[in-house]
Chain A
Amino acid sequence: MSATATTAERADAARARKALIRPIRDGLLVAGRNLIAYRRVPQLLVFSTIQPVIFVLLFRYVFGGAVRVPGVRYVDFLMPGIFVQTTVFGAIGTAVGLATDLKSGLLERFRSLPMARSAVLSGRTVADLARNIFVAALMAAVGFAVGFRVHTNVMAFLFGMVLVLLFGYAMSWIFATVGLAVGDPETAQAAAFPVMAPLVFASSAFVPVDTMPHWLRVFASHQPVSVTASAVRALVLGGPTTSYVLQSIVWSAGILVVFAPIAVRRYRKTV
């Protein structure tokens, strides 16, 4: 019994000492575990990257010819939209991943362990951020291959990508809530689409909003996908950036401030 008692006592001591770093340590452990899944089941990553590549080819070569954007080559208009769309669709993975863990009983085990309460959610969203970085780099490569060019400088382009990733991270918290609420991967997938479709398509991601009816244009010009796409466009094509960049940051921060606590509350109550 002495060995078991010391383990428990040591764990007590550890949690007192590590109260500050434990959330980070445990979050990274969970994130590492989630990233292993992408390595072991590469289909997860392959299918989630094929879809945006098809979008690029489709819009670049099929629809693109019919879209007139004054003063800009369509491929340069398109790619910032594609970056945003890709990371937003990636957030569905957050919902599906959490719902899968919930259904399998894994979250139940996590809740019985002396680990940081926040680690399941932070680990999930950080892993999905890492995946988004990979996917965004891949999409940039595809974009350059089909003729996309940065008209400003590398720093502006990278800053644009940071905005995109920040927005994708914020969206992950919305979909963390969705995944925990539905508790089933298939349902999570299905529930995500009605949220995604208006955000991604009723936006300036693929086409300018000028031709939309007035009521739609009001929504489409102010919603987060559009302002983030516009911010990236301004950064890579040139022109006034401040307003769009600020709007995008405010949207991402706002989504995080609202949805992170909701997701955490949901997690505490679930299982």
Chain B
Amino acid sequence: MDQAAIRVEGLVKRFGDVVALDGVDFDVPTGSVFGLLGPNGAGKTTAVRILSTILVPDGGRAEVLGHDVVHDPDGVRCRIGLAGQYAAVDPNLTGRENLRLTGRLAQLSGVEAGTRAAELLRRFDLIDAADRPVRTYSGGMRRRLDVAAALVHRPPVVFLDEPTTGLDLPSRNELWRMIRELVQSGSTVLLTTQYLEEADRLADRVAVVDGGHVIANDTPATLKSRLGSTVIEMGLGDEGRASRAQELLSRSLSVRPERDGSAVRLTSEDGARILIDALRILDAESLTPASLSVRQPSLDDVFLALTGHRAEGTDAAPAPEGAAGRRGTRSRGAS
């Protein structure tokens, strides 16, 4: 199991003037789940499209189970399954027909594809809707079918590109459960996500990407321990008060406060203790916060901690026109 299922070295991809990937490296060990975490436009989808032979890189190399994506694309295609963030299923076909078609185009025989379709419909809880056209499905059902379609030919490597973006919470939990089951069956999974929680729940290892670079590559636990498990954010009303609060707190507290405009942020493993101390210190100086929030670290916090700037365009940023930006996920430089 020490052989890398996916190997990416110095990968570069440009769309006109926009550099989507600027020398990306990572390895994914066989049988593990690897998360690519980053905001829209970070280059996650571009990396997945190169690995699934849809795009050709401008530089660097990428291999899936020893097959080069440029020199042996068909060898790669036999070994991968892809589920994109836009459910790529045919709305006019039934769920079963979609899976059968995908299976047969992945070179299964008609019988194999039929058996496999029935099996996956059951596993993804779509058996009751199996013979209805997909256009009658809910968003969550479509997404499940899309993931199922990626698995029809039992690919040893599976790419899931933002599998739960836009899903409501129950559908998201359901899909997470299914992805975990998939991993237990021994597949290697490369998952892209904007949600730290998703990477945390599913991935063995996470690469944080920003601006076409990998800026961190570690286990979720280590990434989070750099941050602390609790984020306390205090709004001080104006920047002057905020910098005074930052100075005071940095003198007396064991954690380093960060200032972001008129807000001060503390991240710690021991949230309650720090919160009590911080409020006591500020109260003594008549610096009572105007607003206060206590929460789990988000992708934004990881970014701030790793890059010193906020994640840009976390919500669908406008994409440049044409092939380069059709999916709207690699619009670096738009913001």
Contact = CB atoms under 8 A, between A and B. Distances in A.
B102 interface: yes
11 contacts: A1-B31, A15-B107, A40-B92, A104-B90, A105-B327, A108-B54, A109-B82, A112-B53, A112-B81, A269-B323, A271-B54
B88 interface: yes
Contacts of A33: 90, 93, 97, 101
A7 B90 contact: no
A7 B154 contact: yes
A8 B54 contact: no
B85 to A, nearest CB: 9
Nearest to A39: B92
Contact of B153 (A11, A30, A119, A270): A11
Interface string B98-117: 00011011110000000000
B241 interface: no
Contacts of B81: 112
B105 A26 contact: yes
Interface in A23-69: 26, 29-30, 33, 36-37, 40-41
Identify the interface centre among B81, B84, B90, B133: most chain A CB within 10 Å of its CB. Answer: B90
B80 interface: yes
B86 to A, nearest CB: 4
B54 A111 contact: yes
Contacts of B105: 26, 29-30, 110, 113, 115, 119
Interface residues of A, number: 36
Chain B interface helix/strand/loop/mixed? loop
B93 A106 contact: no
A3 interface: yes
Interface string A199-217: 0000000000000000000
Closest 4 CB pairs of A and B: A11-B78, A105-B88, A114-B77, A4-B156
Chain B interface: which size bin? 35 or more
Contacts of A186: none
A157 B330 CA distance: 55
B75 interface: yes
A112 B77 contact: yes
B181 interface: no
Given A3-B154, A112-B82, 15 more contacts: A1-B156, A14-B107, A29-B105, A30-B105, A33-B93, A33-B101, A104-B88, A105-B86, A105-B327, A106-B90, A109-B88, A109-B102, A114-B107, A115-B106, A271-B326
A195 interface: no
B54 A112 contact: yes
A155 interface: no
Contact of A8 (B31, B78, B88): B78
A20 interface: no
Interface string B309-330: 0000000000000010011000
Contacts of A81: none
Contacts of B326: 183, 271
B125 interface: no
Contact of B84 (A41, A108, A119): A108
Given A7-B154, A183-B326, A29 B92 contact: no
Contacts of B149: 109
Contacts of A106: 88-90
Identify the interface centre among B155, B187, B327: most chain A CB within 10 Å of its CB. Answer: B155
Contacts of A119: 105
A12 B74 CA distance: 9
A79 to B, nearest CB: 33
Contacts of A145: none
Contacts of B31: 1
Contacts of B88: 104-106, 108-109
Contacts of B102: 109, 113
A109 B78 contact: no
A271 B323 contact: yes
A72 interface: no
Identify the interface centre among B31, B86, B88: most chain A CB within 10 Å of its CB. Answer: B88
A30 B186 CA distance: 31
Contacts of B92: 36-37, 40-41
A5 B30 CA distance: 12
Interface string A252-271: 00000000000000000111
B107 A104 contact: no
A82 B31 CA distance: 61
B279 interface: no
Interface string B42-62: 000000010011110000000
B74 A36 contact: no
B87 interface: yes
A220 B234 CA distance: 77
Interface in A131-181: none
Contacts of A1: 31, 156, 186
B79 interface: yes
Interface in B114-143: 133
